[in-house]
Amino acid sequence: MSEIVLAGNPNTGKSSLFNILTGSYEYVGNWAGVTVEKKVGQLKAGKGQLIDLPGLYSLNPLSHDEEVASRFLLNESFDSILNVVDASQIERNLNLTLQLLEYGKPVVIALNMVDVAKQQGIEIDIERLSELLKTPVVPVVARSGKGCDVLLRMITGESSGNACEKTHMLSYGELLEKACTELTAKMPDHIVSPRWMAVQFLEGNSVVRAALEKVIDSKWLNQFYQSTEQSVMEAYGGKKLSQYIRNKRSDHIKEILAQCLTRTERRSNLSERIDRVVTNKYLGIPIFLMFMYLAFKLTFEWLGNPLSDLVDGFINGALRNGTEWLLNGVGATSFIKAIIFDGIFAGVGGVLVFVPQIFILFLIISFIEDSGYMARIASVMDRLMEAVGLNGKAFIPLIIGFGCNVPGIMAARTIEQPKERLLTIILSPLMSCSARLSVYSLFVGIFFKSNQALIVLSLYVMGIVIALLLAKLFSSTILKQQESMFVVELPPYRIPQWKTLARSTWEKGKGFVRKAGTFIFGGSVIIWLLSYAGPGGFDVPMNESFLAKIGGAIGYLLTPLGFGTWQAGAALITGFLAKEVVVSTMNIIYSAPDTAALQGLLAGHFTALQAYSFMAFILLYVPCLATVGVIRKETMSARWTWFSILYSLVIAYGISLAIVTVGRALGFH
């Protein structure tokens, strides 16, 4: 069975192609850096395995994911490479292609996005390109599957197409070729592709260098590198070795394209015209905020709330009555009934009620991603991000964090600079995730009925602003760093397909539903038990339960923030498990028959100002358990993990205090 590696620049359609060729589902998004780890899938009809690597611009690793790819090529065995090339960006894409060809394994090129290229007036002579590169080239549209059957036959060896015998080798000029020969002569026989290693070494590939140092004396290597660089500098007017190699490649690409690419003039395209507005220096951010505002309007007021009411009606109406009937029928004890209704129905049902809102928001985010607007947001934010020591690329993990902080933190792997990556990881938990949305939903429905969208937007923006301010603070104190360069790419706008949207919405939202069925289910039972039992025995008044005792201790500390009750304290402690649990706990504590009743009760326990302060605290106070786990895993440091927990507690306390203080001074209470 053959193993085929899928390699290509970010955002060229690798995952789309992977899904089509293997019939599986992988996250597809219209921006760079969506796939951060390699994925393996069976080719359709079981003819081999396809391995999806993270996107990479060059084999010379800059970022963590490029390193994954470099290491993979170096250490793993596979049979051939399927290189995805974006036809509309072919010039830049071929840079990687040349390096893959040099590697020496058979390469098939999937020339993707030919539809986009055509729209842009780019015409590619495929046969000529294949001849020049000495390797098969198959035009495809991975999004619709066009050409993919031909490609599948080609890579599984059923059709040889125009498979070529010789491999394409670019000559780097006499000087370098001599150096390569000298270096390859030193390499032991087991090295798979000596020339590729030599070129990569000279280009400065640190993974290759480390591999060579295992077999060749590192002093010699150092000296060899320096003397080669010296002679290149002398011969080519001070050019650095790595730069010389890159220039050679790009010159060669230009030569190739001159022979097989024609560009026809086109009208100024729609994408560009839209971009002039939405990435405008002054309008960019207001337009983005406007979009978010509309998104929340839709999520809460226009569409989400009515749907939520329906779900609420079903859970606390038909489902509750049905269950009651069933329990009475089997003669369940009142203890069992209490667990089920006061524990599970309150805890799990109280959270499930917000499923419609969450799915609507995810649908909108998926739309923003797949249409290409997300990349514009990153580019608009780039200026702001740079000012605080990050770059636009870091905004993408942050935005992913709106869904759930866990994948957001994982996505930080695409950031090259280790310190920027660390900074992004520890700030990601400040992004308001979907779990917190259920808390806001509950509270804005009570206290801010007429401007729900605005209040929720303010919390999201608060998270972003605090993250940016802290980025500035941390990057100028504990995380001093060199700045890195980043050019955000703007992919063309696309009308997203329903199928993709539905899938990616589901992928994002299913975690929420699953959590409700497992984690929150278990949590609700435990919390109910804690509210049922106390130091005085079972079935104690709620005020004397263990839950009240634990919550009371915390509640005391929270008094200055305006919500110093044991109920709030208990909700916050349990909320560390997962932030939806705050809602579950509230439901259990106030033992309300449905969401409307709970909202009625809460209205008596909080004022609007206290509610806002409480929501801000929920947003900021501590990353949830799963997030803490992933921070630990990604930073590989207990110290930074503790740091994330502690700084967020401090910030939450400070902000909530500021909110009530200022609020009171303004006459709210």
Q: Give the integer Cα–Cα distance in Å for 101 and 105.
A: 7
Q: Interface with ligand GDP by CB under 6 A: which range of 22-30, 430-438, 524-532, 601-609?
A: 22-30
For the bound state, the minimum distance from the C-beta of residue 488 to Mg ion, rounded and expressed in Å, comes to 17
Q: Give the integer Cα–Cα distance in Å for 596 and 441.
A: 12
Nearer to Mg ion, 28 or 630 (CB): 28
Site residues (CB under 6 A) for ligand GDP, limited to 401-430: none
Nearer to ligand GDP, 99 or 112 (CB): 112
Site residues (CB under 6 A) for ligand GDP, limited to 358-387: 370
Residue 460 near residue 292, CB atoms below 8 Å: yes
CA angle 124, 125, 127 (to 5 degrees): 135
Q: Give the integer Cα–Cα distance in Å for 406 and 87.
A: 34
For the bound state, the minimum distance from the C-beta of residue 136 to ligand GDP, rounded and expressed in Å, comes to 18
Nearer to Mg ion, 34 or 406 (CB): 34
15 appears as a binding residue in the annotation: yes
Q: Interface with ligand GDP by CB under 6 A: which range of 75-83, 113-121, 234-242, 288-296?
A: 113-121
DSSP string, 12-35: SSHHHHHHHHHT------SSTT--
424 appears as a binding residue in the annotation: no
- State yes or no: residue 139 binds ligand GDP (CB under 6 A): no
Neighbours of 123 (CB within 10 A): 15
Site residues (CB under 6 A) for ligand GDP, limited to 601-660: none
Q: Interface with ligand GDP by CB under 6 A: which range of 14-22, 293-301, 479-487, 518-526?
A: 14-22
75 appears as a binding residue in the annotation: no
For the bound state, the minimum distance from the C-beta of residue 54 to Mg ion, rounded and expressed in Å, comes to 7
For the bound state, the minimum distance from the C-beta of residue 39 to Mg ion, rounded and expressed in Å, comes to 9
Residue 330 tokens read as: 């089997």
Cα→Cα distances 168→99, 161, 163, 165, 562, Å: 10, 17, 12, 10, 71
CA angle 338, 344, 346 (to 5 degrees): 90
How many amino acids of this chain bind ligand GDP (CB under 6 A)? 24
22 appears as a binding residue in the annotation: yes
Residue 450 tokens read as: 């007429």
321 appears as a binding residue in the annotation: no
Nearer to ligand GDP, 232 or 374 (CB): 374
255 appears as a binding residue in the annotation: no
- State yes or no: residue 503 binds ligand GDP (CB under 6 A): no
H-helix segments, 77-217: 90-103, 114-119, 126-133, 148-155, 174-186, 194-203, 206-213
Nearer to ligand GDP, 31 or 296 (CB): 31
Residue 516 near residue 533, CB atoms below 8 Å: no
Q: Interface with ligand GDP by CB under 6 A: which range of 6-14, 204-212, 329-337, 649-657?
A: 6-14
- State yes or no: residue 14 binds ligand GDP (CB under 6 A): yes
Residue 494 tokens read as: 């696309």
Please name the residues in contact with 623: beta carbons below 8 A apart, sequence gap of 6 or more: 405, 429, 631, 644, 645, 648
From candidates 13, 48, 304, 663, binder to ligand GDP by CB under 6 A? 13
Which residues contact Mg ion (rule: CB under 5 A)? 15, 34-35
Nearer to ligand GDP, 115 or 229 (CB): 115
Residue 503 interacting entry, from ligand GDP, Mg ion, none, C-beta within 5 to 8 Å by type:
none
Please name the residues in contact with 96: beta carbons below 8 A apart, sequence gap of 6 or more: 7, 8, 9, 56, 57, 58, 59, 83
From candidates 22, 83, 112, 405, binder to ligand GDP by CB under 6 A? 112
- State yes or no: residue 463 binds ligand GDP (CB under 6 A): no
H-helix segments, 53-121: 64-75, 90-103, 114-119
Pairing verdict, β 39-42 and 48-52: antiparallel
Q: Interface with ligand GDP by CB under 6 A: which range of 137-145, 209-217, 621-629, 646-654?
A: 137-145
Residue 423 tokens read as: 């900074």
Q: Give the integer Cα–Cα distance in Å for 156 and 3.
A: 10
Torsion angle in degrees (nearest 10) through CA of 497, 499, 501, 506: 180
Crossing angle of the two packed helices 418-427 and 638-665, in degrees rounded to 10: 50
Nearer to Mg ion, 17 or 471 (CB): 17
CA angle 104, 216, 222 (to 5 degrees): 100
Residue 11 near residue 54, CB atoms below 8 Å: no
For the bound state, the minimum distance from the C-beta of residue 52 to ligand GDP, rounded and expressed in Å, comes to 7
From candidates 29, 41, 397, 408, binder to ligand GDP by CB under 6 A? 29
- State yes or no: residue 38 binds ligand GDP (CB under 6 A): no
For the bound state, the minimum distance from the C-beta of residue 35 to Mg ion, rounded and expressed in Å, comes to 3
From candidates 55, 136, 194, 663, binder to ligand GDP by CB under 6 A? 55
Longest alpha-carbon distance in the chain: 94
65 appears as a binding residue in the annotation: no
Q: Give the integer Cα–Cα distance in Å for 193 and 199.
A: 10
- Amino acid letter, 541: P
For the bound state, the minimum distance from the C-beta of residue 115 to ligand GDP, rounded and expressed in Å, comes to 5
- State yes or no: residue 16 binds ligand GDP (CB under 6 A): yes
Site residues (CB under 6 A) for ligand GDP, limited to 115-134: 115-116
14 appears as a binding residue in the annotation: yes
Q: How many helices (H) and strands (E) does the chain have?
A: 33, 10
Residue 123 tokens read as: 């015409």
60 appears as a binding residue in the annotation: no
- State yes or no: residue 505 binds ligand GDP (CB under 6 A): no
For the bound state, the minimum distance from the C-beta of residue 155 to Mg ion, rounded and expressed in Å, comes to 18
Q: Interface with ligand GDP by CB under 6 A: which range of 5-13, 94-102, 220-228, 314-322?
A: 5-13
**Any idea how long the chain is?**
669
From candidates 4, 5, 7, 11, binder to ligand GDP by CB under 6 A? 11
| Residues in contact with ligand GDP by the rule CB under 6 A | 8, 10-16, 28-30, 34-35, 55, 112-113, 115-116, 141-143, 370, 494, 500
**Numbered residues of the known binding site:** 8-15, 19, 22-23, 33-37, 52-55, 112-115
